Amino acid sequence: MKRRSLFVVLTALFVLVASLPVLGQGVDWSTKPLQSERARSYDALHYLIKIRLDLDRKAFEGVTTVIATSLREGLETCVLDAEEFTVTSVLDADGRPLAFDQTATELAVRLGRPYKFGEEMTFTCFYHGQDPKIGLRFAAETADNPRIVFSDSWPTNVHHWFPCFDYPNDKVTNEIVATVERGLKVAANGRLVGVFEDPAAGTVTYHWSQDQPHSTYLIFLAAAPYVVVRDSYKTLPISYWVYPQDEAKAGPTYGKTPKMMEFFDRIYGYDYPWRKYDQISVPSGGGAESTSATAMTHRIMVDERGEPDFPAIGIVSHELAHQWWGNLVTLRSWAHAWINESFGTYSDYLYHRFEMGEDEGALNLQNKLDSYLREAKTRYIRPIVTDRYEKPGDMFDAHTYPKGARVIHMLRSLLGDEPFFKTISHFLHRYAFDAVDTADFIRSVKTVTGQNLDWFFDQWLFKPGHPVFEVKSEWDADAKVVRLAVAQVQNLSKGVPVFQMPVAIKLVTGSGTDIQKIWVEKREATFELPLGERPLLVRFDADNVLIKEITFPKGSDELRFQLDNDDVIGRMEAAGALASFKDDPRIARALVSSLRDDPFWAVRKGALEALAKIGPKDGAAVFKRACGDKDPQVRAAALVALGDLKDRKNLAFYMDLFRKDPSYRVQAEALTAIGKTGDQSAVPFLRQAATVPSYRNMVARAAEKALGLIQDR
């Protein structure tokens, strides 16, 4: 009878959910155009790019020599991608002119004679351009950055500053010989061959050689009045190219790079593959990997005071990981973007866990899951690997980055650590300096482990969506079993499958903890888990591995136990769920205890936010006490909650906290709390605070916000 009562509820819920619209279907991905890997008639081997850059005129003059071999018998025309510059002439290897035709997007060079299959050809293109819209960006001097030019080659923009075959399945070596005005420094891929000054012309020329093959979107250059801060890992040169005003921030921002490199060498089982590693400030929105030289937004630069609150290890480790994932092995077509970005994103989790501990790693993975679910529920769902997209950038989203990273984590859990990391090493060694696709990675899994996991890759890479679980548990005292009812209630339209997977169930009793494994593969099923006594806690997906949504109703007693005794994700989950039990005085006491005593800041923050929703009678005192928490994120959250009370009696407290707290984050929230009081007497204080320098100017922005709040009041 108990089993029937469970499934009456679950079946009714399934009917209701199945009748609802599919979440995340603002975009129907299946209607996007079908794409395919680009074919080639030649194999480009080397580009010698000589370029003269005029930052004042936002202009460039280029001479690019192309060395390639024919992939056709009797090749007579070589078609290059070329856009936003004008080709004036093309010469063959002996200096004889070649005929050519240029359209808005292509340069067709008539080779002078037919070339046999495998025969090598060389020709040189002369061209000039001015202020291209993409590919090469000229930026004027601002308060944040000096006058600068830098390439923006990803994903198919490099042909906006030199002619080439601009698709990732063709790997080349290249040289860049860049001439700029004296006083500027030029960063680029590979080894610095030399720097040559021309005093008469007032110019300097940098010659860089990338002598290991890579894809064209990874070719990079930047020129600015950089300060170069030197570092190293073993004998490998590491440099941080920063704006002059940021020199003191290079260490706090990038100083962990050698440690990261040693970590990735070890876990990947493949030593860093390039001649050097540079990280180069540019005025862009994020990081952009290129071979041995990563472009980094200058906005990540942080001083020693701000680094504990705003560490750059996420973006620094992610972009460093691309030197293996994306640069050493590279997606063959944009359909396989996960090979670059999912592994890059998983790598930043791996380093977070290594650097900051198990709890921070678990939180990092949870944040990745939440990021994917937001996209899935509000925008669209799609297969991670798909050849349907309008443009390459479509593939670089929360499916490719965080969902893909979580898929890799599930694969690791399925294989076990040793087989997983041996597979990673095998894949990197087998396909080094090559273009790859998903089938190549699956082949490595089979080769190393002997396992056929086609079912796993089919549902997680080649099909869209994720399981949405409705779970209920009952304790059968007579049979001594926990009866677990599990239903997958996701809408199965648009190709979403019923997922199959192993799931760990944690059962906690007064006698200890028991982990039992079940295999979920049906729309709905009931599992009977033997247990000697009534459980105090039942956790579905005990190791937090699955990509999922879940509803698992629990009573307040179980949630209070979970808040005190579960892992960090379980404790955070319990804190959030307890906010709905407003009328039970034990709940507020449990949350206050968690806020005071839990060892991990995110749980304390979750408990505080739950208390703010409950609104306990002594809330002001609780929030005020939490303003002294050892973690700045908890202190900032406490200021949000305290400030929402809009009590002018706390004005002096906020001001004192602003003066004494070392955290920019906390200072900013203290100012916002002042604004919420609406007290006009605080205006001079806020105006003075607006002059305080801080990370990304957040203190000044908070002061301006507070002044606006007071004006509104």
pLDDT grade for 457, boundaries at 50, 70 and 90: very high
Which pLDDT value is given to residue 9? 31
Query: Which distant-in-sequence residues (6+ apart) come within 8 Å of 156 by Cβ?
Result: 81, 166, 167, 217, 392
pLDDT grade for 656, boundaries at 50, 70 and 90: very high
Which pLDDT value is given to residue 17? 34
Which pLDDT value is given to residue 666? 98
Which pLDDT value is given to residue 579? 95
Provide, rounded to the nearest whole percent, the portion of the chain with pLDDT above 70: 96
pLDDT digits (tens, 9 = 90+) for 553-577: 999 999 999 999 999 999 999 999 9
φ, ψ for residue 212, nearest 5 deg: -120, 140
Q: DSSP letters of 466-516?
A: --EEEEEEEEETTTTEEEEEEEE----GGGPPPP-EEEEEEEEETTEEEEE
Contact criterion met (CB below 8 Å) for 49 and 177: yes
Q: What is the mean pLDDT of residues 496-509?
A: 98
Which residue do the tokens 């990735």 mark?
264
Which pLDDT value is given to residue 11? 34
Q: What is the mean pLDDT of residues 370-395?
A: 97
Q: What is the mean pLDDT of residues 707-711?
A: 95
**Could you tell me which of 323, 334, 333 has the C-alpha nearest to residue 289?**
323
* d(C-alpha 382, C-alpha 25), whole Å: 10
pLDDT digits (tens, 9 = 90+) for 306-322: 999 999 999 999 999 99
Which pLDDT value is given to residue 22? 42
Q: DSSP letters of 160-219?
A: GTS-B--STTSEEEEEEEEEEETT-EEEESSEEEEEEEETTTTEEEEEEEEEEEEEGGG-
Has residue 629 got a pLDDT over 80?
yes
In this chain, the answer to whether the domains covering 226-331 and 332-460 adopt an identical fold is: yes
For the chain, domain boundaries:
38-224, 226-331, 332-460, 554-593+602-614, 618-713
Which pLDDT value is given to residue 15? 32
Of the CATH numbers 3.40.50.10240, 3.30.70.1710, 3.90.870.10, 2.60.40.1730, which one belongs to the domain with range 38-224? Answer: 2.60.40.1730
Please state which CATH number belongs to domain 226-331.
Answer: 1.10.390.10
Which pLDDT value is given to residue 21? 38
Please state which CATH number belongs to domain 618-713.
Answer: 1.25.10.10
* d(C-alpha 66, C-alpha 563), whole Å: 64
Residues paired with residue 48 on neighbouring β-strands, in sequence order = 65, 175
Contact criterion met (CB below 8 Å) for 372 and 406: yes
SS3 percent helix, strand, coil of the chain, rounded to 5, is 40, 30, 30
Average pLDDT, the chain: 95
Has residue 453 got a pLDDT over 70?
yes
pLDDT grade for 7, boundaries at 50, 70 and 90: very low
pLDDT grade for 18, boundaries at 50, 70 and 90: very low
Which pLDDT value is given to residue 14? 33
Has residue 16 got a pLDDT over 80?
no
Q: Which H or E run includes 264? A: helix 257-268
Q: pTM for this one?
A: 0.94
Which pLDDT value is given to residue 665? 98
**Could you tell me which of 567, 630, 617 has the C-alpha nearest to residue 588?**
617
Q: What is the mean pLDDT of residues 146-168?
A: 98
* d(C-alpha 551, C-alpha 497), whole Å: 19
Which pLDDT value is given to residue 582? 86
Has residue 20 got a pLDDT over 50?
no
pLDDT digits (tens, 9 = 90+) for 176-198: 999 999 999 999 999 999 999 99
Has residue 24 got a pLDDT over 70?
no
Least confident interval from 24-33, 43-52, 497-506, 597-606 = 24-33
Residue type, 538: V
Has residue 337 got a pLDDT over 80?
yes
pLDDT digits (tens, 9 = 90+) for 416-427: 999 999 999 999
Which pLDDT value is given to residue 25? 53
* d(C-alpha 401, C-alpha 340), whole Å: 9
pLDDT digits (tens, 9 = 90+) for 254-278: 999 999 999 999 999 999 999 999 9
- Distances from the Cα of 355 to the Cαs of 110, 359, 362, in angstroms? 56, 11, 13
Least confident interval from 12-16, 148-152, 603-607, 671-675 = 12-16
CATH 3.10.180.10 fits domain 332-460: no
Which pLDDT value is given to residue 185? 98
Has residue 387 got a pLDDT over 50?
yes
